[in-house]
Structure 1
């Protein structure tokens, strides 16, 4: 049985690297950490993980990405995986998008960029506590 996954989705590699480092520093080897540079890539990873019967616990997604926006992506994920903890990370999401994600994707929290590592970890821990 493989470890559960925390998936980070952002079109900026530097953001993905930063998220991965913060998560690894906090949670160590408790989880696998996957990254995707777009919603489409993330959906492919989710399908692969599902085929391998690997559980996805948390998705941290940017809002403003080329192609599919973060709220649309999280709504798609929620339809197939309602139990996944969903966190949106953004500097530019409009209030309507955040509300839509809360209502239609069960958004756990929306954090503003630049985020604080402590706030990110506390948000993920509070989400995991609900599982």
Structure 2
């Protein structure tokens, strides 16, 4: 049985690298951590993980990305996989997008960039407790 997964989606590689370090430190390898630079790549990774029967627990997504915005991504994921905990980590989401994600993607947490490590990890942990 493979480890459950956390997927982070952001079009900035430096943000993904920071998230990778923070997640490894916080969870010490307990979860498989996957990273995508776009919504399209995230959806492909989700399909691959599901095919491999990996349980995806949490999605942490930026909002402002080329192509599909984070709220649209989280809504699409929630429609197909309602059990996945959704977190939006962004510096530029508008209030309407946040409200849409809350109502249509069961958004668990909204965190502003630049984020505090503890705030993000606590949001992920509290989301995991609800599973």
| TM, length-normalised to structure 2 | 0.99
- Inter-partner Cα distance in structure 2 for 1:127 and 1:16: 20
- Aligned-pair Cα RMSD in Å: 0.4
Please give the alpha-carbon distance, in whole angstroms, between the structure 1 residues aligned to 2:80 and 2:72: 13
Q: Name the CA distance, whole Å, in 2 between partners of 1:36 and 1:127.
A: 20
Q: 2:54 & 2:126 partners in 1: Cα distance?
A: 22
Partner in structure 1 of residue 70 of structure 2:
70
CA distance in 1, matches of 2:40, 2:94: 22
Match of 2:110 in 1: 110
Cα distance in 2 between the residues matched to 1:29 and 1:71: 28
Q: How does 1:25-104 map to 2 (within 5 A)?
A: 25-104=25-104
Counterparts of 1:5 and 1:93, CA distance in 2: 25
Scaled by the length of structure 1, the TM-score of the pair is 0.99
Could you say which residue in structure 2 is the equivalent of 1:16? 16
- State the distance in 2 between where 1:17 and 1:108 align: 23
3-state SS of 1:30 partner: coil
1:6 to partner: Cα distance:
0.4
Give the secondary structure class of the aligned counterpart of 1:40.
Answer: helix
| Structure 2 counterpart SS, 1:87 | strand
Structure 2 residues without counterparts, runs of 5 or longer: none
Structure 2: how far apart are the matches of 1:29 and 1:117? 17
Q: Give the C-alpha shift of residue 29 in structure 1.
A: 1.4
Give the number of equivalent residue pairs. Answer: 131
